[in-house]
């Protein structure tokens, strides 16, 4: 693991001491800022009651459930784990794939946030046309996510950098809660660390994390962890270096969602190697792409096996990934960085 030590970190404690950023009415200015800096915060984009509804459904359906769920940190099906303060420790990956019968309200309310008409307005303006949501996550405890560019994991088949993402605060996020951070201008100034050679995901993921940390240091980028109030959303590009801080105060949570968006006509490019076709379903103002849909009996059987035999499944997955990454069929070579 790469130790987190960010000498040049800017961590404003409150809204008052942070820069104001923008509101939806200032979308043109916000877009210019996004294009220059590789990220932007839109204040109060999501109504408070929608944030509260997601958290209430989490309490009712998810917190006490023993159903294994796919997790962001290791791509394994795991049961909930909690910190000493009682916050969910293993973030949920791809909320749109959750089993509707078990987690219907949580899934539906989270998707209402992630596909909200205001979100569609911003993401369409960023990406230049109708969009689809292709990935999502839910966090409660600090995650200490390593600095990365999303492009390494997934991007647009139509060109690297053509994916955008949003980080949604469901509560005011304390400076000690493990804030989300970005490196301003890194979408232009930090070289793209490719998913290949010694840094490939299958066998070189730890090396990749080190390579990213070094690339950020070489570019002498600032690191900012903006104040995020309930309903604020931070949007960033798939080439922007970002991550989250280790929690300095275990008594505070960071209830939040993230989602990644592509143009509706683009496909997902995974690991800079293969195009991953996804089935989509309409939701509010956009399509939502599914990957491991737990409403399918077959996918539930697969997740059951993954939960029962995590190590064996992990080995098979790594082998498959190794094969995919090494059998690049020219997809990556044809993908432009733009
Ligand atoms: O909030 C976090 O810990 C990381 C989120 C993230 O990196 C992402 O959604 O790509």
Residue to substitute in 235, 243, 254, 260 for testing ligand 1 pocket (most ligand atoms within 8 angstroms of CB): 243
Report pLDDT digits (tens) over 69-90: 999 988 999 999 999 999 999 9
Q: What is the mean pLDDT of residues 177-182?
A: 98
Q: What is the mean pLDDT of residues 290-318?
A: 87
Supply the pLDDT for residue 328.
Answer: 63
**C-alpha 45 to ligand 1 mean position (Å):** 19
Lowest mean pLDDT among 69-73, 94-98, 163-167, 306-310: 306-310
Report pLDDT digits (tens) over 108-117: 999 999 999 9
The CATH class of the 9-334 domain is mainly beta
Per-chain mean pLDDT for the chain: 92
Supply the pLDDT for residue 308.
Answer: 85
Query: Are 258 and 168 contacting, i.e. CB atoms less than 8 angstroms apart?
Result: yes
Q: Which residues line ligand 1 (CB under 6 A)?
A: 137, 139, 143, 145, 150, 165, 180, 242-244, 258
* pLDDT bucket at 4, cuts 50 / 70 / 90: low
Burial 231-253 (b: 16+ CB within 10 A, else e): bbbbbbbbbbbbbbbebeeeebb
**C-alpha 97 to ligand 1 mean position (Å):** 18
Phi, psi of 61 (to 5 degrees): -105, -35
**C-alpha 48 to ligand 1 mean position (Å):** 22
Return the ligand 1 atom nearest residue 167 CA. Answer: 9
Judge whether residue 337 has pLDDT over 50.
Answer: no
Judge whether residue 161 has pLDDT over 90.
Answer: yes
% of the chain beyond a pLDDT of 70: 95
Supply the pLDDT for residue 305.
Answer: 87
Q: What is the mean pLDDT of residues 149-166?
A: 97
Judge whether residue 10 has pLDDT over 60.
Answer: yes
Judge whether residue 317 has pLDDT over 80.
Answer: no
* pLDDT bucket at 5, cuts 50 / 70 / 90: low
Beta bridge partners of 268: 156, 276
Phi, psi of 19 (to 5 degrees): -70, 155
Return the ligand 1 atom nearest residue 153 CA. Answer: 10
* pTM, entire model: 0.93
Q: What is the mean pLDDT of residues 187-204?
A: 92
Q: What is the mean pLDDT of residues 298-317?
A: 84
**C-alpha 244 to ligand 1 mean position (Å):** 7
Judge whether residue 334 has pLDDT over 70.
Answer: no
Query: Are 19 and 96 contacting, i.e. CB atoms less than 8 angstroms apart?
Result: no
């Amino acid at each position: 693991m790469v130790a987190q030590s960010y000498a040049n970190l800017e961590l404003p404690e409150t809204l008052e001491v942070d820069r104001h950023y923008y509101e939806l009415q200032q979308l043109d200015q916000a877009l210019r800022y996004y294009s220059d800096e590789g990220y932007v915060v839109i204040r109060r984009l999501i109504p408070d009651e929608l944030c509260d509804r997601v958290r209430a459904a989490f309490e009712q359906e998810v917190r006490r459930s023993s159903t294994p769920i796919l997790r962001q940190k290791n791509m394994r099906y795991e049961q909930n784990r909690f910190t000493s303060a009682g916050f969910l420790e293993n973030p949920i990956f791809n909320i749109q794939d959750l089993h509707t019968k078990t987690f219907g309200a949580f899934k539906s309310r989270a998707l209402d946030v992630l596909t909200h008409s205001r979100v569609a307005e911003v993401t369409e303006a960023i990406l230049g046309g109708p969009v689809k949501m292709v990935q999502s996550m839910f966090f409660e405890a600090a995650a200490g996510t390593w600095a990365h560019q999303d492009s390494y994991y997934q991007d647009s088949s139509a060109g690297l950098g053509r994916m955008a993402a949003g980080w949604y605060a469901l509560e005011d996020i304390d400076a000690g809660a493990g804030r989300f951070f970005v490196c301003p201008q890194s979408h232009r100034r930090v070289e793209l660390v490719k998913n290949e050679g010694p840094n490939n995901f299958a066998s070189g993921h730890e090396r990749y994390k080190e390579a990213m940390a070094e690339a950020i240091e070489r570019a002498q980028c600032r690191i900012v962890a903006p104040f995020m109030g309930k309903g604020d959303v931070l949007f960033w590009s798939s080439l922007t270096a970002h991550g989250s801080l280790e929690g300095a105060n275990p008594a505070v949570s960071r209830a939040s969602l993230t989602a990644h968006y592509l143009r509706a006509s683009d496909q997902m490019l995974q690991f800079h190697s293969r195009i991953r076709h996804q089935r989509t379903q309409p939701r509010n103002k956009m399509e939502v792409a599914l990957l491991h849909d737990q409403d399918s009996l077959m996918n539930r059987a697969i997740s059951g096996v993954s939960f029962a035999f995590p190590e064996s499944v992990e080995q098979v997955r790594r082998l498959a990934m190794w094969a995919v990454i090494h059998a690049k069929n020219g997809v990556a070579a044809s993908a432009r960085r733009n």
